[in-house]
């Protein structure tokens, strides 16, 4: 495709509106790196949409602002009290990394993610028998929830801890359900990323489902990152590294990363906080090929 075909394709507009599949998205990002015209066109589209939105701005009752501020302050307090912010984004589109399906039938069929709604639900029995790995996951989550519950009871006043446990349970439910679906799926492959020279003891497992473009990660062993640094996962797609997002440093939880429908290898590098555009190759900790 030459540059003017790219500009006229309509894909750039859909990219900005977060409407593209993972593969199409990666293609647009590659174009943007290769052609300055594409990059600047993307920017013009974004500025245009922003202006459009501002021209349609609406007044809001002042009480809404107070509610937003107090909600976020609560959230911050809860974070500070040790409940980890989850890396697992709501099922769809919390980020430009998110993998979004474009078909009607797949649309938003995921569980509604509102914590408040889920908090009151009980976990229903799975419809199919689980494999061993799934059971281990269930048990681990149950134990960690129980541990957390006990710890919280000790540390906080009753009302605070109840709220926390509720949130944690709601998150666990969503995470477990989505993780189980990946692990249960017979197309899911386990890719062992093995430690390289820099830290030979390191090990990270990737659970990758190409059909569903889901990528899940479990840190088995990885040195704690230095301050202001973060690990970043890369998928090697058509011999080029593509970012799959930065890692939350935790050996307890499974994390969802950006999904891929094809990849030749996965690797983790140490990068500046928030991640980099390209991997720092001499800081590659683990690597696993398919």
Binding site for another protein (CB under 8 A): 8-14, 16-19, 29, 42-61, 64-65, 67-69, 71-73, 75-76, 79, 85, 89-90, 92-97, 100, 102-104, 107-108, 112-114, 117, 245-246, 274-275, 277
Question: Would you say 67 or 290 has its CB closer to another protein?
Answer: 67
Shortest Å, Cβ 106 to another protein: 10
Question: Would you say 78 or 265 has its CB closer to another protein?
Answer: 78
* Residue 138 to residue 132: CA distance in whole angstroms: 10
Shortest Å, Cβ 250 to another protein: 14
Question: Would you say 57 or 132 has its CB closer to another protein?
Answer: 57
Question: String of b and e for 89-125 (b: at least 16 CB within 10 Å)?
Answer: ebbeeeeebbbbbeeeeeeeeeeebeeeebbeeeeee
Question: Would you say 51 or 251 has its CB closer to another protein?
Answer: 51
Rg (alpha carbons) of the chain, rounded to whole number: 21
Question: Dihedral sign, CA of 93, 99, 102, 108?
Answer: negative
Question: Would you say 73 or 131 has its CB closer to another protein?
Answer: 73
Shortest Å, Cβ 56 to another protein: 4
Shortest Å, Cβ 219 to another protein: 17
170 contacts: CB under 8 Å, gap ≥ 6: 115, 116, 118, 119
Shortest Å, Cβ 67 to another protein: 6
Question: Would you say 195 or 275 has its CB closer to another protein?
Answer: 275
Structure-block tokens of residue 130: 């689980």
Shortest Å, Cβ 237 to another protein: 17
């Amino acid at each position: 495709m030459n540059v003017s075909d790219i500009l006229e394709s309509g894909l750039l507009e859909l990219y900005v509106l977060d409407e593209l599949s993972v593969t199409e998205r990666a293609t647009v990002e590659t174009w943007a790196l290769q052609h300055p015209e594409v990059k600047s066109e993307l920017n013009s589209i974004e500025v245009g949409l922003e202006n459009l939105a501002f021209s349609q701005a609406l007044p809001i009752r002042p009480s809404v602002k107070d509610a937003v501020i107090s909600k976020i302050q609560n959230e911050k307090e809860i974070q500070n009290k040790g409940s980890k912010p989850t890396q697992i984004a709501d099922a769809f589109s919390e980020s430009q990394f998110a993998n979004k399906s474009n078909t009607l039938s797949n649309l938003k069929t995921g569980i509604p993610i509102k914590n408040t709604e889920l908090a009151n639900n009980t976990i229903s029995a799975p419809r199919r028998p689980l494999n061993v790995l799934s059971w281990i996951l269930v048990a681990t989550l149950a134990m960690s929830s129980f541990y957390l519950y006990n710890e919280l009871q000790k540390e906080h006043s009753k009302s605070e801890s109840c709220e926390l446990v509720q949130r944690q349970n709601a998150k666990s439910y969503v995470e477990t359900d989505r993780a189980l679906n990946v692990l249960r799926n017979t197309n899911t492959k386990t890719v062992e990323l093995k430690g390289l020279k820099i830290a030979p003891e390191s090990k990270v497992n990737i659970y990758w489902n190409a059909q569903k473009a889901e990528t899940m990660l479990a840190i088995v062993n990885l040195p704690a990152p230095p301050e202001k640094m973060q690990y970043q996962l890369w998928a090697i797609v058509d011999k080029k590294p593509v970012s799959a997002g930065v890692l939350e440093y935790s050996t307890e939880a499974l994390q969802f990363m950006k999904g891929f429908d094809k990849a030749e290898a996965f690797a983790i590098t140490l990068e500046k906080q928030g991640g980099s555009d390209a991997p720092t190759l001499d800081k590659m900790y683990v690597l696993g090929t398919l």
